Chain A
Amino acid sequence: MGNEFTFYDYIDADGYGANVINAWLNGDGKQSKAYFNRMIGYLEGSPPAGSQDSVWRAPYTWPLHGEWKDFIEIRKKVKGVQYRLIGKIEGRYVLLVTWGFHKGSWETDITPQTAKERVSQMNNNPENYRREHDNS
C-alpha cells in the first residue's frame, strides 16, 4: 500500500546538518507551509493525470526552463507573494533542493549549478544529504 512517489528534503550535511526545506517552511516560507505540506501529501499518493504522463503538470507543478531546465516547482500565492518549492523528479522520487519567491522578480537562495550539485549529493550520498519530507 505504498505511495506513488516519495518527496525528499535536502539536508545541508556540509554545514550544520539542517533540513533546508523544513527550515524555510518554518521561517520565511511559513505562509505557504500548510499548502506545500498538503500538496506533497496528495502528490505522493497520486499518479500524474492521464496515463501517458510521467510528470504532473500545471496547476499541480510547473516545469522550469533555461538554466533550471529539468527542475519543477510547486507554487502558492499568498498576499501578493508567490512562494515556490523547487525540486527534481527522479523516477518515483522528488528531490526538493531549494525554495524561491516571486514578488516582482524571482528570487532564490542558490544558483542552478548549486541545485544540480544538491541533486547529485542526494542521489550519491542519500544517508547524509536527503531525508523524507518533514511535515513538522
Chain B
Amino acid sequence: MTIANKREQIRQSLSDPGYRHQFVEEEINVGIAFQIRSIRVRQKLTQGNLADLLGVKQPLVSSWENPNYGKYSLATLKELAKAFDVGLLVRFMPFSKLVDLTVDLTKEVIAPPNFSEEERYYSTASVTPTKNLKSVDANSMVDFVNTIAPGTFPPTPSTVVMNVQEQIHA
C-alpha cells in the first residue's frame, strides 16, 4: 500500500467525530510509549539507567513505555526530552497535518537521533563528503535526512527543477 493510500484511509476514518477524538488521544498514548521505548533502546539505556537519569523508579519508566498508560504530564515529557537530548514539540494543528505526521512511521522517525548524533553526522559529512557518502547506506541516509528535514526525500519535481536551474546558472 502506498503512503498516499494509507493517508486517504486515515483521512476518511476521521470523518467520524468520535473516532477522530479517539485517534488524537491514542496517537499520543501509543506514540509516546513507543518513542520512549525506542529512543531508550537506541541510546542503549536500560529502564533502570533512564530511571536513574530522571531520579524516578524503574517501574515508572516501564509504565511510560506501556501504550495503555496515557497519563503523561508535560513536565515528564520535558524531562524526558532533556534526558534523551532530543527536541519535543507539542502543538495544535489541523487534522490533515496530523495525518501526514502519523502515516509514515519508520524507526528513524520513532527513535530520532539526539543532538550529539546529529552533530557527528554533520561534522563528518562536511569534512570529507565523498568518502563518507560512500560509506553510508543510502536508505539510512534518506531516513536520517527525512527525520531532521521532513519531506526532503524524495525530491519534489519543483526541487528538481530548481536544482537543474541552479546548475545551468552556475
Given contacts A1-B139, A33-B19, A46-B38, contact A59 B110 (CB under 8 A): no
In this complex, the member of A1, A30, A39 whose beta carbon has the largest number of chain B beta carbons within 10 angstroms is: A1
A62 to chain B, nearest CB (A): 12
Given contacts A1-B106, A59-B66, A136-B12, contact A35 B41 (CB under 8 A): no
Interface size on B, residues (CB 8 A): 36
Chain A residue contacts of B104, Cβ below 8 A? 1
Structural contact, B105 and A76, CB atoms closer than 8 A: no
Structural contact, B31 and A38, CB atoms closer than 8 A: yes
Structural contact, B30 and A38, CB atoms closer than 8 A: yes
Structural contact, B107 and A135, CB atoms closer than 8 A: no
A39 to B67, CA, bound (A): 8
Q: Which label, helix, strand, loop or mixed, suits the secondary structure of the B interface?
A: helix
Structural contact, A42 and B31, CB atoms closer than 8 A: yes
Task: Report if A63 contacts B (CB, 8 A).
Answer: no
B67 to chain A, nearest CB (A): 6
Structural contact, B25 and A47, CB atoms closer than 8 A: no
Given contacts A1-B139, A39-B30, contact A45 B22 (CB under 8 A): no
Structural contact, A3 and B106, CB atoms closer than 8 A: yes
B63-106, CB < 8 A from A = 65-68, 102-106
Structural contact, B146 and A1, CB atoms closer than 8 A: yes
B160 to chain A, nearest CB (A): 18
Task: Report if A23 contacts B (CB, 8 A).
Answer: no
A89-134, CB < 8 A from B = 132, 134
Per-residue contact bits, chain B 27-49, to A (CB 8 Å; 1 contact, 0 not):
10111001001100100000000
Name 16 extra pairs, CB < 8 A, besides A46-B34, A76-B68. Answer: A1-B139, A1-B146, A30-B19, A37-B23, A38-B26, A38-B27, A38-B29, A39-B30, A42-B31, A42-B34, A45-B105, A45-B110, A46-B110, A59-B67, A132-B1, A135-B6
17 inter-chain pairs at a CB distance below 8 angstroms, sorted by A residue, are A1-B143, A3-B105, A4-B107, A33-B19, A34-B23, A38-B23, A41-B102, A41-B103, A42-B34, A42-B67, A42-B105, A44-B105, A45-B107, A46-B34, A46-B107, A49-B41, A77-B68
